[in-house]
């Protein structure tokens, strides 16, 4: 992959329960393209990733605490899924505001699987077209978004995918959109 993202800073907003592959693979893709990616979370220390929402995965060191950063510090945002992760994030006003600030500011956002829950909570899916894990789709529609069942959907600066099976297409699309 070429260094199309050299000089770009990407925030990865995640909490305990993040789906490991949805954190690892997009981070690998943006860093391989030259970006600096920082794991931003609700508190310091480490977050526990999961595999398939059931089995514990690895722990990941938090680079920045949410209270110490703003959307202005970054060029793009990644919102990985897992069921617990976005449920934790959408209950935190600072996380909701942080994610919403990217969308409202027109900055690129990549979101996969259950990740759109945070955007629904931020009230920034209205009038947007995106995809997600099937159980999140009613929430997106109820929040005024349009849901399609496609591998990757690009709506302006918003890139979305359904599940880990979509990661190759999602990673290509976020690198392209983030550039």
* pLDDT, tens only, 124-158: 999 999 999 999 999 999 999 999 999 999 999 99
Question: Is 120 within a domain?
Answer: yes
- Structure tokens given for 178: 């983030």
With 70 as the cut, is the pLDDT of residue 1 above it?
Answer: no
The band of 173, judged by pLDDT with boundaries at 50, 70 and 90, is very high
CB 139 within 8 A of CB 83: no
Number of compact structural domains in the chain = 1
Q: What is the mean pLDDT of the chain?
A: 97
Please list the active-site residues. 113-114
Question: Is 129 within a domain?
Answer: yes
Question: Is 2 within a domain?
Answer: no
- Structure tokens given for 40: 């931003």
Burial class (CB in 10 A: 0-12, 13-18, 19+), 160: buried
What sign for the dihedral angle of Cα 32, 148, 151, 121?
positive
* pLDDT, tens only, 107-117: 999 999 999 99
Question: Is 3 within a domain?
Answer: no
Q: Which domain holds residue 38?
A: 9-178
CA distance 45 to 126: 34
* pLDDT, tens only, 50-98: 999 999 999 999 999 999 999 999 999 999 999 999 999 999 999 999 9
Question: Is 85 within a domain?
Answer: yes
CA distance 79 to 121: 13
Question: Is 97 within a domain?
Answer: yes
Question: Is 14 within a domain?
Answer: yes
CB 124 within 8 A of CB 107: no
DSSP label at 83? Answer: S
CB-CB neighbours of 24 under 10 Å: 17
The band of 2, judged by pLDDT with boundaries at 50, 70 and 90, is low
Residues 6+ apart with CB under 8 A from 91: none
- Structure tokens given for 35: 């970006």
Residue reference for tokens 């992760």: 85
Question: Is 46 within a domain?
Answer: yes
Helices (H) and strands (E) in the chain, counts: 6, 12
| Domain of residue 168, CATH code | 3.40.50.880
């Amino acid at each position: 992959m070429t260094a199309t993202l050299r000089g770009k800073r990407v925030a990865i907003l995640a909490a305990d329960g993040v789906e490991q592959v949805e954190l690892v693979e997009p981070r690998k893709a943006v860093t391989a393209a030259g970006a600096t990616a920082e794991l931003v979370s609700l508190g310091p220390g480490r977050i526990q990733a999961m595999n398939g929402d059931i089995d514990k995965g690895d722990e990941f060191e938090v680079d920045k605490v949410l209270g110490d950063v703003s959307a202005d510090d970054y060029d793009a945002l990644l919102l990985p899924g897992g069921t617990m992760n976005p449920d934790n994030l959408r209950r935190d006003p600072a996380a909701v505001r942080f994610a919403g600030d990217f969308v409202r500011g027109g900055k690129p956002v990549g979101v996969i699987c259950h990740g759109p829950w945070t955007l629904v909570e931020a009230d920034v899916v209205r009038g947007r077209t995106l995809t997600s894990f099937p159980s999140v789709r009613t929430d997106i529609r109820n929040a005024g978004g349009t849901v399609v069942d496609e591998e990757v959907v690009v709506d302006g600066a918003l890139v979305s995918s359904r599940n880990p099976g979509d990661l190759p297409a999602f990673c290509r699309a976020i690198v392209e959109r983030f550039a």
